[in-house]
């Protein structure tokens, strides 16, 4: 007998999907950050919003969330997927270069803010243990909001953006020690013992196991799945990597987000990096939206109205104290005034891990529940201000032309961008490999994209910059550096796939030179219509080369032969690339610009 479907069981899910489908497009049209929209939607749909009036209007029960705790558990995966995607955009070498900011500025921010905020809590009447817990919780900033906002404003690769991310990464590393410390303090003796230090051993072992097993297993696993040429299996493997790494990290006493970040860094050096990004991006966006909604649901506005002076005072004090300390830390690390100010403004607000820390502190009876809830409301209010603070910080940062020496500022905002001015070679079979060899002879940078896992593995073994993936998707090409490419060469032997690539590239880069391989004259004409600048039909080119060989062999002077071959090739091009074709228009514009 089939299980009876209960509409109430799916009400919260439907409400969230309706919010995602309505809020994001509406706020984008109004040019308002969608994050604010999801936060406000959570406030309205939660039990502290419309849910308070159900006894007056029972019909409101249909448009309010019944189980905020269940949504919060699922929403945590938004941060997990976000940290995984950030890891994919980094590399071990980039992390090594950032170690000064991570362990220097990050440690200064954690220690300085925890001490100052803890002292202020003691001054307001809290006992030392509770004050320490409150200070540690408020010290943490919001990775889930700050990183997307920085990416949206193309500030992740700026000096202030890298400093912000470095501090956030150190905070993620510090969450586990903070929770362990609060557990010890919750016992009442406040003394560390060997067994307390031993609780850090599983965390260290888990992190080491993630790195070791990841280096040995990830690439062979994805290679095996890629050879199956199944989109569903590859997506399942990606989800397994993220959730599996997160679970290992959580079982070790660390956060799931940190485990996912390590998995992302390990995959960043593989040829599957960009294909994984394309597969995971929709999940990350949807789950992050749910995370923002869940934050809004937790905001109890009744506490704000009951004690506005305390809550608003804590929120204002938090912004000032953290902003000043981060700014001072940035200056101490010689970041410069403008980069330090940008980082200070973004990191001044509270973060999502404050909920984790304070929930544990309240559960261990370290912090009174009424005080903890009031502090959480203050921290949540400051998180609403992050987009505005980021906008102010971006103005400071853009006035400074100083960039760190680690890498030049790319056109596309990525932490680890592809080289600028490269040629994208789509397809790395015999034709694509020969094109790449000729580019090497002229010392021109190039990146290849190939769907055949065996060809990708061979190219990687030879030291080539080649990625696995379906190049007919514009998202993959953009992650491979389409925004700064000088040209795209399409060498794929599948006509439909080649046409999809040409159409996608032309739509994204109207001025870009596109050279494509065609099977015959009819296919060449189609590629010209889609916007290819130059097309090389296999049948026509083979015929011209055979004609050249026979003419030379029977004694016709080489100069005359070459001239006639070029003339005939131009005649074919004029016939195939009609003046009204998109490729013909692009070619005329290009020729006009060269004259």
Rounded Cα distance between 207 and 211, Å, is 6
Rounded to an integer, what distance in angstroms lies between the CA atom of residue 365 and that of residue 432?
65
pLDDT beyond 50 at 412: no
Alpha-carbon Rg of the chain, whole angstroms?
A: 29
> For the segment 8-63, what is each residue's pLDDT rounded down to a tens digit?
667 777 777 788 777 777 877 777 777 778 888 888 888 888 888 887 888 877 78
Q: For residue range 316-358, list pLDDT tens digits in order.
A: 999 999 999 999 999 998 888 888 998 999 999 998 888 878 8
> What is the rounded distance in angstroms from the CA atom of residue 528 to the CA atom of residue 514?
10
Average confidence (pLDDT) over 518-540: 87
- Say which residues have a Cβ less than 8 Å from residue 23's Cβ, sequence separation at least 6: 34, 37, 38, 41
Spatial strand order in the sheet of 466-468: 466-468, 446-450, 423-426, 487-490, 513-518, 534-537
Cβ atoms of 522 and 495 closer than 8 Å: no
* Model pTM above 0.85: no
Query: What's the DSSP call for residue 384?
Result: T
Sign of torsion over alpha carbons 78, 79, 85, 88: negative
Inform me whether the pLDDT recorded for 190 exceeds 60: no
Taking CA atoms, 164 is separated from 82, 117, 134, in Å, by: 15, 20, 22
- pLDDT for residue 247 is more than 50: yes
Among residues 584, 317, 273, the alpha carbon closest in space to that of 418 is found at 273
DSSP codes of every residue in 532-582: -SEEEEHHHHHHHHHHHHHHHHTT--HHHHHHHHHHHHHHHHHHHS-TTSH
CA 586 from chain center: how many Å? 34
pLDDT class of 588 with cuts at 50, 70, 90: low
Q: What is the pLDDT of residues 83-118, one digit of tens each?
A: 888 788 777 777 777 788 888 999 999 999 999 999
């Amino acid at each position: 007998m089939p299980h009876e479907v209960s509409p109430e069981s799916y009400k919260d899910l439907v409400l969230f999907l309706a919010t995602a489908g309505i809020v994001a497009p509406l706020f984008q049209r109004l040019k308002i950050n969608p994050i604010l929209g999801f936060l406000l939607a959570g406030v309205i749909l939660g039990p502290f919003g419309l849910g308070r009036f159900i006894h007056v209007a029972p019909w409101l029960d249909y448009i309010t969330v019944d189980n905020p705790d269940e949504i919060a558990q699922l929403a945590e995966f938004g941060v997990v997927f976000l940290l995984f995607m950030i890891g994919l955009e980094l590399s071990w070498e980039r992390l090594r270069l950032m170690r000064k900011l991570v362990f220097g500025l990050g440690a200064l921010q954690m220690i300085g803010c925890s001490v100052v905020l803890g002292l202020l809590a003691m001054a307001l009447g809290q006992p030392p243990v509770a004050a320490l817990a409150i200070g540690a919780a408020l010290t943490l900033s919001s990775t889930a909001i700050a990183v997307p906002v920085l990416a949206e404003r193309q500030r992740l690769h700026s000096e202030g953006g890298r400093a912000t991310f470095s501090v956030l990464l150190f905070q993620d590393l510090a969450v586990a020690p903070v929770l362990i410390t609060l557990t010890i303090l919750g016992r009442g003796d406040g003394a560390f013992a060997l067994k307390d230090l031993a609780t850090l051993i599983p965390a260290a072992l888990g992190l080491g196991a993630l790195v070791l097993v990841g280096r040995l297993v990830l690439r062979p696993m994805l290679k095996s799945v890629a050879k199956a040429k199944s989109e569903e299996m590859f997506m399942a493997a990606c989800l397994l990597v993220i959730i599996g790494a997160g679970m290992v990290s959580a079982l070790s006493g660390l956060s799931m987000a940190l485990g996912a970040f390590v998995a992302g860094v390990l995959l960043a050096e593989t040829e599957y990096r960009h294909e994984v990004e394309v597969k995971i991006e929709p999940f990350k966006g949807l789950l992050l939206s749910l995370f923002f909604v869940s934050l809004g649901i937790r905001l109890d506005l009744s506490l704000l109205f009951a004690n506005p002076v305390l809550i608003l005072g804590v929120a204002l004090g938090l912004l000032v104290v953290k902003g000043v300390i981060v700014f001072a830390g940035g200056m101490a690390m010689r970041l410069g005034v403008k980069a330090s100010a940008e980082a200070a403004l973004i990191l001044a607000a509270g973060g999502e891990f404050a909920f984790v820390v304070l929930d544990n502190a309240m559960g261990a009876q370290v912090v009174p529940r009424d005080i903890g809830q009031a502090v959480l409301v203050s921290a949540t209010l400051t998180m609403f201000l992050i987009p505005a603070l980021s906008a102010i910080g971006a103005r400071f940062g853009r006035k400074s032309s100083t960039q760190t020496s680690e890498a030049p500022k790319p056109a596309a905002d990525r932490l680890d961008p592809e080289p600028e001015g490269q040629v994208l070679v789509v397809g790395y079979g015999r034709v694509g490999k020969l094109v790449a060899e000729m580019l090497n002879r002229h010392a021109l940078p190039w990146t290849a994209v190939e769907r055949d896992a065996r060809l990708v593995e061979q190219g990687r073994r030879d030291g080539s910059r080649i990625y696995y993936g379906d190049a007919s998707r514009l998202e993959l090409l953009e992650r491979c550096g389409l925004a700064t490419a000088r040209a795209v060469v399409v060498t794929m032997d599948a006509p439909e796939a080649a046409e999809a690539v040409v159409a996608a590239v032309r739509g994204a880069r109207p001025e870009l030179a596109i050279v494509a391989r065609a099977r015959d004259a009819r296919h060449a004409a189609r590629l010209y219509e889609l916007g290819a600048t130059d097309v090389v039909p296999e049948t026509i080119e083979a015929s011209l080369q055979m004609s050249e060989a026979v003419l030379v062999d029977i004694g016709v002077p080489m100069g005359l032969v070459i001239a006639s071959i070029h003339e005939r090739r131009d005649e074919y091009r004029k016939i195939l690339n009609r003046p009204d074709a998109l490729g013909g228009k692009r070619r005329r514009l290009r020729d006009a610009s060269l004259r």
